[in-house]
């Protein structure tokens, strides 16, 4: 199915096309392995001379259908799904970097990703330099080293909801001939397609809006297929892989080199596979993604406007607000601004806690981006492992409340926030 098809149609139809007499709904292939009748057939699969399924860790029909659907939604040549968004981020690093390599990342990113970049991969010999996403192109350039293997950012940062200036980061990456990778979890392809603005790779936590119901964990990497890995900067792609009979990925697979290496090398060795059951759930829930994102976005804007005018609220950040400094970037890159906003009540962290404990409809949960409205205090939960300095670098203030605005009726959401603020 061509990418010119409207995204609403792709969300419903892409990825799985049943033949005559086959199930209308994508089946769950709940099998770890697949039967063959000859050694020769299996040998060709293991040598990557033919495509097919032989072990679910490396491929499964249900997971494959989800991958194809998501690639269509983002406008990529293909995708590879993982057990979580964090697993996808880790695989991105493992696929592009070796010990001694370097990454440049925007500082305002999800706390789990920040910790992965700042601490975990450091133990493996990969260093990450963080840069303010509002920094000039010259400042970003100054962070790039000869051993830098990619530049990373989030379309809408979690939880500070800053909009990434794609073209600035993409131009720097292009100048140094390195990939530009973007986490597009919050907008989803329904509101933004980073490939249209210079990204080469897109990752998602499928556990968020993609699933949309807090029912399934998953992550995914989508490849645009326009970066040439056949160059000395990426020796793992253009020199023989000793673990795969001396195969050279860039020579054998061309524009699919990243995806093939990610599956046959990284997925093979780490085993962070998405389950067929979760692939089924996410694939099903993607059918309503464009509709849900419209409602999330409209509700979030109305709630942000209410909070902005409430006397007990100190500040509100939502890119769709006319007063937001992010509005020019939102207008440039986003169809709408998704369902996440942040605000700070007057009185600091104590009042934030009091407000959250007074909510009745909205729940306090360690999750974001599903159909139900929820709140979270990142400084004491998701970003608790970070130092106060690191929290501020990622956009976390002590009083900041992250609101994931659901698809309930907006009047009911506002009424709940009003009564909690006025207690």
Which CATH number covers residue 361? 3.90.1150.10
My answer on whether 279 and 294 are in the same domain is no
Q: Which residue has the higher pLDDT, 54 or 10?
A: 10
From 120-134, 204-218, 332-346, 386-400, the region with the lowest mean pLDDT: 386-400
> Distance of CA 312 to CAs 205, 317, 350, 404, Å?
34, 15, 13, 20
The pLDDT confidence band at residue 1, using thresholds 50, 70 and 90, is: very low
**Sheet strands side by side (includes 363-364):** 313-317, 340-345, 401-404, 374-376, 363-364
My answer on whether 326 and 233 are in the same domain is no
The residue out of 255, 285, 315 marking a domain boundary is 285
Q: For the CA atoms of the chain, what is the radius of gyration?
A: 22
Number of domains in the chain: 2
By three-state DSSP, how is residue 328 classified? helix
Is pLDDT at 383 greater than 70 in this prediction? Answer: no
Which CATH number covers residue 119? 3.40.640.10
My answer on whether 244 and 312 are in the same domain is no
Q: What percent of the chain has pLDDT over 90?
A: 86
Q: What is the pLDDT of residue 382?
A: 67
Average pLDDT over residues 86-114: 95
Q: What is the pLDDT of residue 395?
A: 72
H or E element that contains 340: strand 340-345
My answer on whether 139 and 241 are in the same domain is yes
Q: Within a domain: residue 142?
A: yes
The residue out of 250, 285, 320 marking a domain boundary is 285
Q: What is the pLDDT of residue 243?
A: 86
State how far the Cα of 254 lies from the Cα of 245, in Å rounded to an integer.
18
Mind listing the pLDDT tens digit for each residue in 42-78?
Answer: 988 888 888 899 899 999 999 999 999 999 999 999 9
Shortest CA distance to 101 belongs to which of 79, 121, 130, 76? 121
Q: Within a domain: residue 345?
A: yes
Residues 56/277, Cβ–Cβ less than 8 Å = no
Average pLDDT over residues 332-358: 95
My answer on whether 34 and 174 are in the same domain is yes
Strand 401-404 to strand 340-345: parallel, antiparallel, or no bridges (unpaired)? antiparallel
Mind listing the pLDDT tens digit for each residue in 28-39?
Answer: 999 999 999 999
My answer on whether 279 and 322 are in the same domain is no
| Structural domain for 236, as ranges | 7-285
Q: What is the pLDDT of residue 36?
A: 92
Q: Within a domain: residue 410?
A: yes
Is pLDDT at 371 greater than 90 in this prediction? Answer: yes
The residue out of 237, 253, 285 marking a domain boundary is 285
Q: What is the pLDDT of residue 137?
A: 97
Residue given tokens 């009047």 in the structure block: 411
State how far the Cα of 44 lies from the Cα of 29, in Å rounded to an integer.
23
Q: What is the pLDDT of residue 396?
A: 77
The pLDDT confidence band at residue 2, using thresholds 50, 70 and 90, is: very low
Residue 108 CB contacts under 8 Å (≥ 6 apart), including other chains: 132, 133, 154, 157, 160, 162, 393, 394, 395
Q: Within a domain: residue 1?
A: no
My answer on whether 259 and 352 are in the same domain is no
My answer on whether 299 and 249 are in the same domain is no
Is pLDDT at 27 greater than 90 in this prediction? Answer: yes
State how far the Cα of 100 lies from the Cα of 63, in Å rounded to an integer.
34
Report pTM: 0.94
């Amino acid at each position: 199915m061509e990418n010119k098809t409207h995204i609403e149609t792709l969300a419903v139809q892409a990825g799985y096309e049943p033949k005559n007499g086959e199930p209308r709904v994508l089946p769950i292939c709940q099998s770890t392995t697949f039967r063959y009748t000859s050694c020769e057939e299996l040998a060709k699969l293991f040598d990557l001379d033919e495509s097919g399924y032989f072990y679910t860790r490396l491929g499964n029909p249900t997971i494959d259908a989800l991958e194809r659907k998501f690639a269509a939604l983002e406008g990529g040549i293909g995708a590879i799904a993982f057990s979580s968004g964090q697993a996808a981020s880790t695989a991105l690093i493992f696929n592009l970097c070796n010990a001694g390599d370097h990454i440049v990342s925007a500082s305002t990113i999800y706390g789990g990703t920040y910790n992965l970049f700042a601490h975990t991969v450091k133990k493996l010999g990969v260093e990450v330099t963080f840069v303010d996403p509002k920094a000039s192109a010259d400042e970003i350039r100054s962070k790039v080293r000869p051993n830098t293997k990619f530049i990373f950012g989030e379309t809408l940062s979690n939880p500070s909801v800053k909009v990434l200036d794609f073209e600035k980061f993409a131009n720097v990456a292009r100048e140094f001939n390195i990939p530009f990778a973007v986490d597009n979890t919050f907008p989803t392809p329904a509101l933004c397609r980073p490939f249209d603005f210079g990204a080469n790779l897109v990752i998602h936590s499928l556990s968020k809006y993609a699933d949309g119901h807090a029912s399934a964990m998953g992550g995914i990497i989508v490849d645009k297929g326009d970066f040439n890995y056949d160059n000395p900067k990426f020796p793992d792609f253009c020199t023989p892989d000793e673990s795969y009979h001396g195969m050279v990925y860039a020579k054998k697979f061309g524009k699919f080199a990243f995806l093939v290496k990610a599956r046959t090398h990284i997925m093979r060795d780490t085993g962070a596979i998405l389950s067929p059951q979760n692939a089924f759930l996410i694939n099903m829930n993607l059918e309503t993604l464009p509709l849900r994102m419209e409602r999330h976005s409209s509700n979030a804007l109305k709630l942000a406007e209410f909070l902005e005018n409430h006397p007990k609220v100190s500040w509100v950040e939502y890119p769709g607000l006319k007063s937001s400094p992010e509005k020019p970037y939102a207008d440039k890159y986003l169809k709408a601004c998704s369902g996440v906003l942040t605000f700070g009540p007057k009185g600091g962290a104590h009042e934030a806690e009091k407000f959250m404990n007074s909510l009745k409809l909205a729940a306090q949960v360690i999750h974001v981006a599903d159909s139900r409205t929820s709140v979270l205090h990142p400084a004491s939960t998701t970003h608790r492992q970070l130092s106060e300095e690191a929290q501020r670098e990622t956009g976390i203030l002590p009083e900041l409340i992250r609101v994931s605005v659901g698809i309930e009726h907006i009047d009911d959401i506002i009424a709940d926030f009003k009564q909690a603020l006025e207690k």
